[in-house]
Amino acid sequence: MNIRCVWEHNGSDTLLYAIDFPGAFSRGESLEAAKLKMGKEIQAYAAWLSLEIGSIGEIEVVQDSACELEIRDADSDVLFQSEIQPLTLEEYRILKAVALKSASDFLALYNAIPDKNRSVGTRRNTFYGQVPRTAEEMYQHTKNVNAYYFGEIGVSADNENSILDCRHRGFVQLEKGIVLLANPIIEGSYGEKWTLRKMLRRFVWHGMVLTQDKNH
């Protein structure tokens, strides 16, 4: 199968996102470098979700998005063209289950680390502050996007208790109203465009970006 990707870039710095595997991505100092990493990323992603995908073919760029953010800081404001499409209830349930599995697995990984405040990484400033380096910093950073991401599509949420607890509560709040299956485009903070599909993808991506080696 071919892997359809969105290419987000700032100069030569590159992020590739796999459209059909929400949350899967690769980074590189060039588009070609990121493409070379994508096959392995998709295989790991498929193993994580027990998906049968067959052989991996061409890595196709179907959307090109220049970005003003520092790509190496691993943040993104791109809205995929595929994330504008309405969802069926079944699609929503599948994507929600992946977002909750991501939180559950992230929590399990965090709990398995004996010294949560140890790091050999170097300090680096980003537009959102110091890059998280320790297990504790990574966990708190990833947990604390919960209220922000839900809030960007108009759902009131919080960051209390575990990452899995607060994500569950966010979905409960979402489903108290009309689940946004029509997938309207919503303008959130800083002029960034959001949809329900994008929020679900970003939850999975955010957990992966801090638990995998995406350095150049």
Per-residue pLDDT reduced to its tens digit, 166-175 = 999 999 999 9
Average pLDDT over residues 40-55: 94
- Report CA dihedral (14, 122, 212, 191) to the nearest 10 degrees: -50
* Residue 215 pLDDT grade (very low, low, confident, very high; cuts 50, 70, 90): very low
Measure the CA–CA gap between 146 and 28, rounded to whole angstroms: 27
More confident residue, 213 or 89: 89
Per-residue pLDDT reduced to its tens digit, 157-166 = 999 999 999 9
| Amino acid 216: pLDDT | 31
Measure the CA–CA gap between 213 and 216, rounded to whole angstroms: 9
| Amino acid 214: pLDDT | 40
* Residue 49 pLDDT grade (very low, low, confident, very high; cuts 50, 70, 90): very high
Under DSSP, the state recorded for 112 is H
Per-residue pLDDT reduced to its tens digit, 75-86 = 678 999 999 999
| Amino acid 131: pLDDT | 73
Rg (CA), the chain: 17
H-helix or E-strand containing 160? none
As a whole number, the mean pLDDT across the chain is 89
**Alpha-carbon distances, residue 31 vs 5, 119, 138 (angstroms):** 11, 30, 27
Measure the CA–CA gap between 23 and 102, rounded to whole angstroms: 10
Distance of CA 64 to the CA centre of its chain: 18
| Amino acid 157: pLDDT | 97
**What pTM does this model have?**
0.90
Domains and CATH numbers, the chain: 3-78 (3.30.160), 82-209 (no CATH)
Query: Any residues with CB less than 8 A from the CB of 51 and at least 6 apart, and which?
Result: 45
| Amino acid 163: pLDDT | 97
Per-residue pLDDT reduced to its tens digit, 98-130 = 999 999 999 999 999 999 998 867 776 665 567
